[in-house]
């Protein structure tokens, strides 16, 4: 499987390009800006992109949706609970104060456990609310793309409208601790000591994974 990690945009989001080497079909996860850099990589890899997947609705992870859709013809995917947040007045006002606006309305919604086809591979949607109501992680084979739900050594902020600390820590414990410890963690920002990790390492060093917050 092809995995390309790109740090893009003013907010230095980790965007991911995944691809199937047999069918040369791929997806883009969290296009947070620097659209030309993303397109150049897609063209270099010679991938067809049917889907752009947002791990959550926050603008720093969705800024490139419209431009990339225009270039690739891909459908934009987001969890149904975060699609609702695009019409939430509190969230809209919050990001407007930051000089940001919401994504275009996605083409498709997903829910927990749904599978997204990528050539010979499948991507499983794991709903991990808390950073936002519809935050998701994406599991493809032994690779977990965690967006802003889980960072290396930390977890996502919860002070943005729709965030909730206990919801987030509960989701991380209920959903992620059940996965194999060898699972590779690919976070949404380069906030930790390393750009990637494993669940084994996060269980040992990340206080937000499996801690008692009640």
For residue 213, pLDDT over 60 is answered with no
pLDDT tens string 28-63 = 999 999 999 999 999 999 999 999 999 999 999 999
In a domain, 25, yes or no: yes
In a domain, 210, yes or no: no
Q: What percent of the chain has pLDDT over 70?
A: 98
Q: Supply the range of the domain harboring residue 176.
A: 2-205
What value does the mean pLDDT take over residues 2-24? 96
In a domain, 211, yes or no: no
What's 94's domain CATH number?
A: 3.60.15.10
Global pTM? 0.96
For residue 155, pLDDT over 80 is answered with yes
In a domain, 127, yes or no: yes
In a domain, 96, yes or no: yes
pLDDT tens string 119-134 = 999 999 999 999 999 9
Among 74, 10, 66, CA closest to 42: 74
What value does the mean pLDDT take over residues 5-26? 96
């Amino acid at each position: 499987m092809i995995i390309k990690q790109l740090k893009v945009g003013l907010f230095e989001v980790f965007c991911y390009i995944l691809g199937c080497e047999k069918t040369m079909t791929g997806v883009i996860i969290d296009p947070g800006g620097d659209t030309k850099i993303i397109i150049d990589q897609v063209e270099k890899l010679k991938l067809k992109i049917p889907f752009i997947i947002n791990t959550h609705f926050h603008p720093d992870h969705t800024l490139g949706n419209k431009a990339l859709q225009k270039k690739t013809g891909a459908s934009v995917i987001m969890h149904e609970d975060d699609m609702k947040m695009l019409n939430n007045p509190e969230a809209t006002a919050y990001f407007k104060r930051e000089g940001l606006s919401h994504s275009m309305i996605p083409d498709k919604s997903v829910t927990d456990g749904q599978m997204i086809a990528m050539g010979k591979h499948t991507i499983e949607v794991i709903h991990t609310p808390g950073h936002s109501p519809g935050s998701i992680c994406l599991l493809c084979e032994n690779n977990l793309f965690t967006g802003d739900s889980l960072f290396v050594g930390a977890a996502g902020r919860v002070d943005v409208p729709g965030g909730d600390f206990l919801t987030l820590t509960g989701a991380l414990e209920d959903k992620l601790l059940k996965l194999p410890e060898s699972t590779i963690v690919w976070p949404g920002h380069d906030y930790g000591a390393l750009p990637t990790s494993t669940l084994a390492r996060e269980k040992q060093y990340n206080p937000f994974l499996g801690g008692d917050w009640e």
